[in-house]
A and B are shown apart, each in its own frame.
Chain A
Amino acid sequence: DADVTQTPRNRITKTGKRIMLECSQTKGHDRMYWYRQDPGLGLRLIYYSFDVKDINKGEISDGYSVSRQAQAKFSLSLESAIPNQTALYFCATSDTSAGSVYGYTFGSGTRLTVV
């Protein structure tokens, strides 16, 4: 099983629909993130959470909301999807302590298309 699992892997939805992307992890990391990737741009941070009671906006949070249901689960919602939210979405967890080798673990991504 993957350390960070995203569902669904692919989704096509219509403009105006509500959609939820889910992320679960078995790494035991406290910190979780949602990123968006668009062609020609670096990954951009949507929301992040340092623990269950701590939720923070990233640089492009407008139009999105999140829920940290448990340490292992972090969901991203698009309340009313619009076409410019078509992108590849990544969930990630981090362990950036001194002994950490890689720091971040990424999910496999969710390719979302809004038509």
Chain B
Amino acid sequence: KNEVEQSPQNLTAQEGEFITINCSYSVGISALHWLQQHPGGGIVSLFMLSSGKKKHGRLIATINIQEKHSSLHITASHPRDSAVYICAVRFGNEKLTFGTGTRLTIIP
């Protein structure tokens, strides 16, 4: 049973659109991570958050602890944002549980 659910599984949008990717989890967590996996396979950490909101460039991550939900937003999307975005949560210990990812394609 996967305790981390992401939606949508696939998302295609036009360049410039505002993108939202969602992540829900089943029980309380100590932290949530957003990761980006490039087409070549490498994984880059984007954010680690346990409350509130974080922003880095055009990327914004929010988390609602009460609703057990997080969102990753991309403003002014660009083709280079095309990647798989992965949500992962830490349930109190050091081990992460990963979602299956959202494949984002931005069309010029």
Contact = CB atoms under 8 A, between A and B. Distances in A.
Interface of A: 31, 40-45, 48, 50, 58, 88, 90, 94, 96, 100-106, 108-109, 111
Contact of B41 (A31, A45, A88, A100): A88
Interface string B40-59: 01111111100000000000
Contacts, number: 58
Main secondary structure of the interface of B (DSSP, over half): strand
B31 interface: yes
Interface in B1-50: 2, 4, 31, 33, 35, 41-48
A31 B4 CA distance: 23
Contacts of B4: 42
Query: Residue among B46, B95, B96 with the most chain A CB within 10 A?
Result: B96
